[in-house]
Chains A and B, each alone.
Chain A
Amino acid sequence: DAGVTQSPTHLIKTRGQHVTLRCSPISGHKSVSWYQQVLGQGPQFIFQYYEKEERGRGNFPDRFSARQFPNYSSELNVNALLLGDSALYLCASSLEAGYFGETQYFGPGTRLLVL
């Protein structure tokens, strides 16, 4: 079975532009979470979606939004890009919503560079 897949792998944008990142979870997994990892730091939680509903949101501005589709894939959208949005964006999937925590499986990430 394929693992978590993300597209694109790399992306270069300029300040003020908009970007859409995509994630396909492991087959059968219903929960998708998004993380931002700035160079030299640990990943920071952005969103969790389960069964197409938002289940958690981290401390990120409203420029960041996401959604989950009926096939459980997900998109992360970032508007009005800033230089500080340059990071590795990671998607993680898990079987369920994780009410008591469960193993999450991460994709390879999308490297975003904002110039």
Chain B
Amino acid sequence: KQEVTQIPAALSVPEGENLVLNCSFTDSAIYNLQWFRQDPGKGLTSLLLIQSSQREQTSGRLNASLDKSSGRSTLYIAASQPGDSATYLCAVITGGGNKLTFGTGTQLKVEL
């Protein structure tokens, strides 16, 4: 059974700092890994999707890496801003279909 863990559970940083969020998964036979952002009480916004054959994906100030063999992914956020404050979730697809297995998220607060 696939299990996804995210560390830390919560993180508070000053504005402008670069930061790294971690995600690990127990079954390395994944098809892809997706990072999402969730604002309080809201739905999920897809940030980046990394296919199992890829090592990283970049979008603006965000960079996600994937090391499938070790069961790890990181989300790097450069020059953090207060608007980045949200919960960040990683999720993997293992096996066919669209079933996402999620971690419990990292709650990020970027302070002025």
Contacts and interface: CB of A to CB of B under 8 A. Distances in A.
Interface in B18-45: 30-32, 34, 36, 41-45
B76 to A, nearest CB: 20
Interface centre among B32, B43, B96 (most CB of A within 10 A): B43
A43 to B, nearest CB: 5
B12 to A, nearest CB: 17
Given A41-B104, A100-B31, A105 B98 contact: no
Interface of B is mostly: strand
A58 B42 contact: no
Interface string B46-68: 10010100000000000000000
Given A104-B34, A104-B46, A111-B41, A55 B105 contact: no
A94 B43 contact: no
A42 B103 contact: yes
B96 A100 contact: yes
Contact of A102 (B45, B98, B99, B101): B98
Nearest to A43: B102
Interface string A40-55: 1111110010000001
9 contacts: A40-B104, A41-B104, A43-B100, A90-B43, A100-B96, A101-B30, A103-B46, A106-B43, A108-B43
Interface of A: 4, 31, 33, 35, 40-45, 48, 55-56, 58, 88, 90, 92, 94, 97-109, 111
